[in-house]
Structure 1
C-alpha cells in the first residue's frame, strides 16, 4: 500500500500521546491518498469512546471544522461511515443531493469530492476517517479499494495505540494511588506519635479534617507532612 510503510510504528513509538497518534494518522492518510488519487487530499478523523469526549484530528482547519460540524447537523461522510456500511463516497458534491444540511458547508470549503471510511476498533470504541478533494471524481472504485486497505492497517495501529494509552493511564493511576496511600500512612504515623493513639484513631482524625474542610484525605495528609520541621518526606515512586 502506497504511503503505509511504517504506519503502525509511527502511530505507536513515534507519538507522545493519543492526540499525537491521531495527528500522525491523518497526515499519513492524506499523503497516501494524495498519491493514490493523484490530487491533493485533506483528511479528518473522529474517535468516539465510552465516557470520553469525542476526539477530532485533521490536516487543517477546514477538515477539522467539517468533522465537528457533523456532530451538529447529524449527517456527513463520517456519520454515514459510522452508522452505515462503513463506506460513504460523494464524487460530485455540486450535483449530489445527499446530506442537505451538511453539503453546503462542504461546497463553501471548496471540496468537490469526499470519502468516509469506518475504522475497525474494539467494542466500545469507534472511529471514522474522511478524505476531501477539491476536484470531482477524486475517489473512483480503485482508489476506494486502496483506501480501505489503508484503513485496515490504520485500524490495527490505532487499536495498539489505544491499548498502550490505556495501559499508561492505569500505571499512572496506580502510581498516584500508591503515593496517596504512602502520604496518608506517614501522616498517620505522625499523629500516632504526637497523640499516642492507634492507627485507626489517626485515620479518624484525618477523615474528620477531610470532611470538615471538604478536601481529600491525601491533601490533609500532605498538609500535616508539610508542617513537619524538616518538611514533607519524599513519597514519590520511580517509574
Structure 2
C-alpha cells in the first residue's frame, strides 16, 4: 500500500504540473520523463501519436526509443503497432523468447539491449490517440503493480493529450473564423455586399477553385484581392454573387 500511495502521489503531482505545460509537445516530453521516475521498472519511455494512417514518435527519453519505434514502423510489427491495431495493452516479459515479433524483437535485444516492454493504447471515448510505451533492459521487469500503475499513467496522458489537441483545434477554428470575418468585411465594404452575400462569394470561390475557405480568406486579407479565373464565372467579387 505505501508503494501504491507513493505512485498515486507522484501521479497527482504530474497531473498538476501538466496544467503549466504549453502545447502538446511539452506535455508529452514531461510524460515520458516522469514515466521513468514513477515506475521503477521503466528504463526508457516513448509516446507515439496516430494521425489518420500515420504513426509518429512525438516524445522519447532516449535515441534508443526513437530507433525502436522507427524499426516497428518499418517492419510493421512490434508492441506499439500491435497495441494500436489490436489491443489496449500489450506486455512482453522477455523479447528474447517472444515469437510475436520475429524480426523486431531479436534486433531490439541484440542492438539496444532492451528485454521487456509494456505498451498502452492512449484513447478517449471517441479517438485512438497513440500509444505510451515503457521499456526495460531487464527481462520480466514489470510487475503486475507496475503494469497497473502504467495503465493509470496512460489514462492521465490520454486525457491531457486529448485536451491539448482539442485546444489546438479550437485555436485553429477561432483563427479561421476571425480571418473569414475579416475577408467578409473587405468584400462588404468594397462591393457593397451584405454579410451573407460576402460569405457566399468566398464559398463559391473556395468550391470552384478547390481551395479551403480559410485559405481563400487569408489570401484576400493579405492581398486585398481574389485572383480572377476563367473557370470561376460568377465568383468575381466585382460582379457580386450570381
For normalisation by structure 2, the TM-score amounts to: 0.70
- 1:131 Cα deviation after fit: 0.7
Tell me the residue number matched to 2:141.
138
Q: Deviations over 1:142-173 (max 9, x none)?
A: 22122222222322323322222222222222
Following the alignment from structure 2 to structure 1, what is the Cα–Cα distance between the partners of residues 134 and 107?
15
Question: How do 1:5-44 residues align onto structure 2 when only pairs under 5 Å count?
Answer: 5-11=12-18, 13-33=19-39, 36-37=40-41, 41-44=43-46
Does 1:154 find its partner at 2:157? yes
Following the alignment from structure 1 to structure 2, what is the Cα–Cα distance between the partners of residues 221 and 117?
45
- 1:87 Cα deviation after fit: 1.9
In structure 1, the gaps of 5 or more residues are 193-197, 226-239
Does 1:174 find its partner at 2:177? yes
Structure 1 SS opposite 2:45: strand
Structure 1 SS opposite 2:132: strand
Q: Deviations over 1:113-161 (max 9, x none)?
A: 1111112324233321111111222112222122222222322323322
Following the alignment from structure 1 to structure 2, what is the Cα–Cα distance between the partners of residues 157 and 122?
14
- 1:76 Cα deviation after fit: 0.8
Residues 122 and 128 of structure 2 are in contact (CA less than 8 Å); yes or no, is this contact kept in structure 1? no
Q: What is the root-mean-square deviation of aligned Cα atoms in Å?
A: 3.3
- 1:100 Cα deviation after fit: 0.8
- 1:224 Cα deviation after fit: 4.9
- 1:185 Cα deviation after fit: 4.1
Residues 122 and 129 of structure 2 are in contact (CA less than 8 Å); yes or no, is this contact kept in structure 1? yes
Tell me the residue number matched to 2:77.
75
- 1:78 Cα deviation after fit: 1.1
Question: How do 1:1-239 residues align onto structure 2 when only pairs under 5 Å count?
Answer: 2=7, 3-11=10-18, 13-33=19-39, 36-37=40-41, 41-50=43-52, 53-56=54-57, 57-107=59-109, 108-186=111-189, 188=190, 199=193, 216=216, 219=219, 222-224=222-224
For normalisation by structure 1, the TM-score amounts to: 0.70
In the alignment of these two chains, the number of paired residues is 205
Following the alignment from structure 1 to structure 2, what is the Cα–Cα distance between the partners of residues 87 and 41?
18
In structure 2, the gaps of 5 or more residues are 226-242
